[in-house]
Chains A and B, each alone.
Chain A
């Protein structure tokens, strides 16, 4: 990797990924990630399934990431697809206040529209109100179908609810939506998908055309065909194609940090100056691995 670029992937569903991915990401310079709450590929039928999922995002998964020297944050919210089961959605929304103040929660997300149904609209707005009440950043998922209209509607609804556009990240942009998003003062995130949609060649051109202000690159890697190294690979390609180092740092690190650190939970010191062993916290296993590759015990079968 080009002389130690630090990378943040602000949208990656690590619960679906293996430890090989964590290892590769750490080696590629990823220092911190944000895991948005999303659906799991099939709808959940019980509120308890959401509870356990949210709990894993604030419990097991940050621990697992720490074992590979990566700092894990998450966003909590009811995703648009599952908002359509209203009886369940009602219970999930009740649960949210218990999670929004957990120490690795940096925003409400990913919320927004999928099919742009009335139920999706209702729970999107409910969660925007919660964000307003708690003064939290919002991470918005934009629809795959009827994308442009859905993106514009998402922004209009955010404004209607009195949110500051600088505190809202609109995700999954493409060349068709980016201008509108930036013009309105929102932050535009781009998901780099292998093969489909937004590839990293196209991303280079977006940065060339629109610059690096308020633009964020992410992988959205999940249980589907996706690449958890999409951000470091894009950073590398941008440098190769002559984008300035400063612009690469902004789009693949700094802008994500600025956007998601507003509630004070995400801090550069977490990876720049990791705490040493603190016996008083009865905590010592993690620090051994922080910032390094995991220990391989030669006695053990891998």
Chain B
């Protein structure tokens, strides 16, 4: 069953029947006529037909798409918007793809947030990488968070440069770095260097850094980063000690293990599985 059909079923269980009938008729027309005006008007009118105050509720679904929507607390308007976009892309990618891009280009904050959060559910999600990367440039935190936090899209489709840009800006904007998926998988040498440079800047200005920030450096401990590890291990901040210990331990490097030995209690906690990146701040 196509993703759109699963979402449609879920929507049918909850949404206003008159609105659903209207939407089905519009989609049928969009399939037959391929009209830009109808798409724009239909998309615009969703806002007055589907309730953004009601959350989608699904019990025991085996559909990844539905699980993703509910785990992100999608409301019915968000679901209807995503459904319509998925549907027209399924109908005719070549014709409707650029029109969907138009819709997103003029999105307001809430629409853009919806689009970015659920971008991974769209067919041909790589088509919208430009929009996703553009969202990194925003200073509107809700938009930045939509693409960056709890979102599998960047790890799947961003190149290293884009990924690093996102990770650094997330730290700079003081977002919750533990909500970025696949941090270990997307670690790279360039990012490790960027992290070290940024930390030096902050230290020079006597400012703190989120200890979670260090997580991607483990696999890339060169002499500069080893000195940073010493800095963390010798710090008076217990969280920095823990971050340093985790980086050293996971690096598997002899020099790093020697630094880690200065905090044998932390080493033991890591070995016993009691200290991880997930519970660092607990």
By a beta-carbon cutoff of 8 Å, the part of chain A in contact with chain B is: 51, 54-55, 58-60, 62-63, 95, 97-104, 280-286, 299
Contacts and interface: CB of A to CB of B under 8 A. Distances in A.
B108 A281 contact: no
Nearest to B109: A59
Nearest to B72: A280
Contacts of B111: 102
Given A282-B149, A282-B150, A104 B141 contact: no
Contact of A285 (B40, B46, B117, B141): B141
Contacts of B103: 98
Contacts of B41: 97
14 contacts: A51-B106, A59-B108, A59-B109, A63-B109, A98-B40, A98-B43, A98-B44, A98-B102, A100-B44, A101-B44, A101-B45, A101-B48, A280-B73, A285-B142
B110 interface: yes
Interface of B: 37, 40-41, 43-48, 72-73, 102-103, 105-113, 117, 140-142, 145-146, 149-150, 207
Contact of A98 (B106, B140, B146, B150): B106
A59 B72 contact: no
Contacts of A299: 207
Contacts, number: 65
A284 B146 CA distance: 12
Given A101-B47, A281-B73, A283-B141, 18 more contacts: A51-B106, A59-B107, A59-B108, A59-B109, A59-B140, A60-B140, A95-B106, A98-B43, A98-B44, A98-B102, A102-B47, A102-B108, A103-B47, A282-B117, A282-B146, A282-B150, A285-B142, A286-B142
A281 B44 contact: no
B127 to A, nearest CB: 20
A99 B142 CA distance: 20
A219 to B, nearest CB: 24
Nearest to B103: A98
A61 to B, nearest CB: 10
B108 A58 contact: yes
B84 to A, nearest CB: 13
A28 B142 CA distance: 28
A60 B138 CA distance: 9
B47 A97 contact: no
**Chain B residues touching A, majority SS:** helix
Contacts of A286: 141-142
A12 B44 CA distance: 26
A58 B150 contact: no
Q: List the 8 closest pairs (A to B, CB-CB), nearest first.
A: A280-B73, A58-B108, A101-B44, A282-B145, A285-B141, A102-B108, A101-B47, A283-B142
A60 B143 CA distance: 11
B79 to A, nearest CB: 14
B237 to A, nearest CB: 18
Nearest to A133: B41
B106 A55 contact: yes
A62 B108 CA distance: 10
Contacts of B72: 280
B261 to A, nearest CB: 37
Contacts of A281: 73, 113, 142
B40 A104 contact: no
A54 B113 CA distance: 18
Contacts of B112: 59
Contacts of B149: 282
Contacts of B73: 280-281
A279 to B, nearest CB: 9
B106 A97 contact: no
A123 B107 CA distance: 24
B134 to A, nearest CB: 12
A104 B108 contact: yes
A77 to B, nearest CB: 15
Contacts of A54: 106
A283 B141 CA distance: 7
Contacts of A103: 47, 108, 110
A60 B141 CA distance: 11
A283 to B, nearest CB: 5
Contact of B109 (A58, A98, A285): A58
Contacts of B102: 98
Contacts of A102: 47, 108, 111
A26 B46 CA distance: 33
Contacts of B46: 101
A98 B46 CA distance: 11
A58 B240 CA distance: 42
Given A280-B72, A280-B73, A285-B141, A99 B106 contact: yes
B204 to A, nearest CB: 14
Contacts of A55: 105-108
A238 B69 CA distance: 52
Nearest to B44: A101
A103 B113 CA distance: 13
Contacts of A59: 107-109, 112, 140
Given A55-B106, A58-B108, A104-B108, A97 B40 contact: yes
A24 B102 CA distance: 37
Contacts of B47: 101-103
